[in-house]
Structure 1
Amino acid sequence: AMQRSGGMLLKLLNDALDLARIEAGRLELEPAPFEPRQLLEDVVQLEQGLAHAKGIRFVLEVAEDLPARLLGDALRIKQILLNLASNALKFTEHGKVTLRAQRTEEGLLLSVSDTGPGIPEASQARLFQRFEQAEGPQRRVGSGLGLAICRELVEMMGGSIELESRLAHGSTFRVRLPLAVPASSVPVAWAPGRPCHLLLVEDDTIVATVIRGLLEREGHTVVHVVNGLAALAELAHADVDAVLLDLDLPGVDGFQVARLIRQRERAGQHLPIVAVTARSGSGDEAKARAAGMDGFLRKPVSGERLADALARVLGGADAPMPA
């Protein structure tokens, strides 16, 4: 019960924060190459537990001509699909929920269909407004912000979202996104031939434990220090392949640490540095680059995003700095 309540509280908070960032113009998209099939499979895997518990099927249908890679904000696209899939599963008691993806001339068409009770026509127009929910026994579960956030995110991407529903015949949400095929051949995920020795500079022990666990699961060895001075001391006597650097450290902050590392490097040396931060400001990435950092990750991070960042800073000096 505590886990479920905590999870619901976290979702309510995240929904409110997302809308606040959108209103303030502080929420920025971070487009990068991603694998759409893997993203879709991740959504199905995350929602499969609820489908199984309710005794309904969750089906994935992917067109054969779907590009292997697309350019877009994979995290926000996944957020949209998770919102739509969760709603479909929440209101469907029998039958199935189907997630479909196909290529269009403009980019990508995603749809989530269910065999639920359907939505009255009078309710459909206001469903994308804030704090609005469909009538039903599950009305009290959720914030009523999910579809409003979906609409805002889709519009930020230059796309559109529409609803088709009939009472007793289920509902279908369609999302059209203008996503291009990336020209770069840099792989999204990277599996190095040898384990890397990494330095993690992070003052939050819980965040450090999560990041360290994700890295060690991939076979890397990680040395963790809690401040910038300890990081400089570690680098003075140990060789590392890359540094994962929090920007908001006690005492000497991450920007100063990066500058000091660059100042100490001899000709021909370049230690890859990836910024890992909870900051949401629009100028932080530029400041990190100016301080000498090669990569930029916003918390919370995933194993996939860590692997992608390491692939770019270790696998190609000319690769664009990941967001």
Structure 2
Amino acid sequence: LLSTPLNPLQHDYTQAMQRSGGMLLKLLNDALDLARIEAGRLELEPSPFDPRQLLSEVAQLEQGLAHAKGLRFVLEMSDDLPAQWLGDALRIKQVLLNLANNALKFTEHGEVILRARRSADGLLCSISDTGPGISEASQARLFQRFEQADSPQRRVGSGLGLAICRELVDMMGGSIELESQLGHGSTFHVHMPLAEPAVAMPVDEFASGRHYRLLLVEDDPIVATVICGLLEREGHKVKHVGNGLAALGELAHAPFDAALLDLDLPGVDGFQIARLIRQREHAGQHLPLLAVTARSGNGDEAKARESGMDGFLRKPVSGEQLITALARVVPGTVASEELPA
């Protein structure tokens, strides 16, 4: 909706809806993460990632909030960061976004700086702000669950973010430290041990101008409309069907560059559809399959890959996440035939 023509009032309303939805999603994810941690079911999923790209994405996501508050958000990266590290990029980004969001939330004037440099065994980040600072009494309990420092922004959030950051960093074998003084701002130091992959994997980037012909298998019409809209906005052609049997019918009559499969479909689920697609492929054929699911279990991604899927995304997804995931699974050669009407 925000990418369509809107008058100023409609634009403000739509942004308010987006912020409210984002806050609700964050509260829900915090509660789910805490439940998984307590149950011992939260597992890290390390894979090669580009630290510079990750840090740039964090900075890009924070620029909007900084601009809205009239603040500067600065990213400083040292030159010695490696091309790739081995770690759970999603959880690393979660920690840095949480700390950066907090810094922006409690800062009214000045700037927030995210600094990143290489340590002896991994990544050392610091997030500094020019906010009011945190008293020693509040510092002592800040990383406890449901605790927040006294401030006008106290009601914004659950008080779980910093506790989850500490849990995640502990799982990585790292540490979080806080330096703060009332009236002089705050700095969080995060140390995360990371190994370099034995063989550097090529970084797969989306090349602008590549337009895909995609099959979306999704039974929820609202979710389907959102995903179709995000993909079509990038110039891709999307054919939507609501169940697995219809998907098999489409694949029998028209070529596609990739298929996006919901896992919980009526009748035949996404895992079974993926297996059937693989069974029907001839030698040399391989349709890229991307799972797009609301499931949150740790074993779902492994199960999806065992069934023959090439990629995995959890809802809700952004347009950027969809495009990045597709770029990782779709080969460079894109078919040129038009989708059937």
Tell me, yes or no, if the aligned pair for 1:26 and 1:280 is still in contact at 8 Å: no
Q: Which position in structure 1 is the counterpart of 2:129? A: 114
Q: What is the CA–CA distance in structure 1 between the aligned matches of 2:71 and 2:321, rounded to whole Å?
A: 32
Equivalent residue for 1:90?
A: 105
Cα distance in 2 for partners of 1:9, 1:303 equals 19
**SS of equivalent to 1:12:** helix
Q: Which residue of 2 aligns with 1:252?
A: 268
Counterpart of 1:123, as a letter, is S
Partner of 2:59: 44
Amino acid at match of 2:157: G
Q: What TM-score results when the alignment is normalised by the length of structure 2?
A: 0.84
Q: How many residues align?
A: 316
**Structure 2 stretches lacking a partner, 5+ long:** 1-12, 333-341
Match of 1:154 in 2: 169
Kindly indicate whether residue 291 of structure 2 is the aligned counterpart of residue 289 of structure 1: no
| Counterpart position of 2:339 | none
Q: Deviations over 1:108-137 (max 9, x none)?
A: 111100122211122212100001111222
Displacement of 1:280 in angstroms is 2.3
**Contact 2:75–2:113 (CA<8 Å) still a contact in 1?**
yes
**3-state DSSP of counterpart to 2:187:** strand
Residue 125 of structure 1 aligns to a residue in which SS? helix
Measured on the aligned residues, the alpha-carbon RMSD in Å equals 2.3
Q: Distance in 2 between matches of 1:307 and 1:32?
A: 19
Confirm or deny that 1:75 pairs with 2:90: yes
In 1, the alpha carbon distance for the partners of 2:111 and 2:118 equals 23
Give CA deviations for 1:71-115 in whole Å, capped at 9, x if unaligned: 322222222122111211222222221111111121111110012
Matched, 1:181 2:189: no
Counterpart Cα distance in 2 of 1:80 and 1:62: 17
Q: TM-score, normalised by structure 1?
A: 0.88
- Mapped to 2, the partners of 1:293 and 1:5 lie a distance apart of 33
CA distance in 1, matches of 2:220, 2:110: 45
Q: What is the one-letter code of the residue matched to 2:136?
A: E
Q: 2 CA distance for matches of 1:257 and 1:173?
A: 47
**Higher mean C-alpha deviation, range 166-175 or range 192-201:** 192-201
Question: Equivalents in 1 of 2:124, 2:97: separation in Å?
Answer: 15
Q: How far has the Cα of 1:5 moved from its partner?
A: 4.5
Could you say if the C-alpha distance between residues 140 and 314 of structure 1 is closer, same or farther in structure 2, counting changes exceeding 3 Å? closer
Q: Deviations over 1:236-264 (max 9, x none)?
A: 11111222111110111112212222222
Q: CA deviation at 1:193?
A: 7.1
Equivalent residue for 1:220? 236
* 2:283 counterpart (267, 285, 291): 267
The alpha-carbon distance between structure 1 residues 15 and 290, as it changes in their structure 2 partners (threshold 3 A), is closer
User: 1:189, 1:307 within 8 Å by CA — same for their partners in 2?
Assistant: no
Note if contact 2:84-2:200 (Cα within 8 Å) is conserved in structure 1.
Answer: no
Distance 1:257 1:12, change over 3 A: same
Alignment identity in percent? 79
Letter matched to residue 197 of structure 1: R
Deviations 1:127-178 (A, max 9, x none): 0000111122222222111101111111122211111112222110011111
Aligned to 1:215, the other structure's residue is in SS state helix
